[in-house]
Chain A
Amino acid sequence: MDHYKSKKIPIFAGYINLKAINGVIFPSYAQNQINKEYITNKIGGEFFMSTNENTYGKNNIVLRSLLEEKSLKGVCFLSVFSLPDNKSQRLEIYKIALKKKKHLHFVFEEFSIKKLNDLEKVEEMFIFNSKFFTEKKNTLSKFERQFLNNSWAFV
């Protein structure tokens, strides 16, 4: 008779954080739509809508609460950069997630944290959240000016 039982669909929360992801702020409704689409179509889970992370606190209270929630299989983020900027706070989040066996999914990067070995790949991504990659380029330094040559001017 077992084959008549429908398989339980795992539930994932969509995490909403209103900080900029490399210069782009996604409104809550857009984050909800992106997370829902990813959870439903990519992970094959059921979407759970959560509240916005507290923009005033620095304790990631909404995220920590979601990780403590027994009914959830995991949490879906727009990006790795939606995680706390502070490394020790991130490590705390990973610790809770691994202990509670929660999966963390990242939509833009299309990868996830399910086990300890997955952490390195996610942490490596934080190189690309440094100013070198996120600051707008408007001027040239003295060093860069040595490369100026009109024959390479395309505009």
Chain B
Amino acid sequence: MLNKKEISSFQKNGYLVKKTSDLKSLNNLQDFIYKILSKDKKNVPKDKIKYFETLHSFIKKKELNNFRVSAITNVNKNKKFRDYYYNSAKEILDGLVGNEIAMQKKINLSIQIPNDNKSMLPMHSDIYAGESPFEVVVWIPLMNVKKSTHSMFITNPKDNIKINKEITKSKNKTIIKIYNKYKKKFKFLKINYGEILVFSPIIQHGNVINTTKETRISLNCRFKSLLSPYDVFSKTHRNIPHFFQPYIVKPLTKIGFNFIESVNKKKFHGSL
């Protein structure tokens, strides 16, 4: 259960960092990624976090994208991985979203090796790409993430209102100019292994070149209440079956929708 303080913190900051209530599931995610990323590699450290932090010394920069794509394909083939993912964040999702859930079809894996300028994600809000304001992003680091370029940056709802206004109304400014103007309103988040970050995709966020000496590996996936709106203001592919998958559907939802269908098909006179 989330307490009032945690919900207020989410309201004020637009995000929440909290220890998982299911460390076993989180460890399963970490084990799985370790196995995938260490396959066919020699002299890999047995300490998983040590390996993740030094991953850049086991892979060439040129190979990184294929390596990442192949790992993501493997992750998404595994049905148990989805359950481990949901269970790792279940307590927070119960508190913020609900327990009847639509889950993003593809879980994403992010690998940020030091000084890689090809994995940057400039400041953005997911809403601009047609995502639902009813969803959250569950961001899971597989190691300790430092409060620096090793992490991702995010702003808060109060400043987000100003930034969003400028992005959507400015006729001559670029994203980078607006980001630089508000740079101090963003912070890099420190998140320890065992903690989960959940944030609203409405809030501007992104990442810069990782200038630390350690690689950062994290997972992200979006969740929303199954019965909340999908296409808000624009009709895109951010819906079922393109982007989301029904993950938990309660029996009464099935009964209710089937009831409406039966009445509409005039199987009996159902209108009052």
Contact = CB atoms under 8 A, between A and B. Distances in A.
Interface of A: 21-24, 79-81, 87, 108-109, 124-125, 127-128, 130, 132-138, 151-155
B241 interface: yes
A124 B249 contact: yes
B240 interface: yes
A155 B127 contact: yes
Given A127-B257, A128-B246, 20 more contacts: A21-B242, A22-B239, A22-B241, A23-B235, A23-B236, A23-B239, A24-B242, A127-B253, A127-B258, A128-B240, A128-B241, A130-B260, A133-B239, A136-B232, A137-B232, A137-B233, A151-B11, A153-B161, A154-B160, A155-B202
Contacts of A154: 14, 133, 157, 160-161, 200, 202-203
A2 B105 CA distance: 42
B237 interface: yes
Interface residues of B, number: 37
Nearest to A128: B240
A21 B237 CA distance: 9
A23 B161 contact: no
23 contacts: A21-B242, A22-B240, A23-B235, A23-B236, A24-B242, A87-B265, A125-B241, A125-B246, A127-B257, A128-B240, A132-B227, A133-B230, A134-B239, A136-B235, A137-B230, A137-B232, A151-B11, A152-B11, A153-B161, A154-B133, A154-B160, A154-B161, A154-B203
A28 B237 CA distance: 17
Nearest to B235: A23
Contacts of B161: 153-155
Contacts of B249: 124, 127
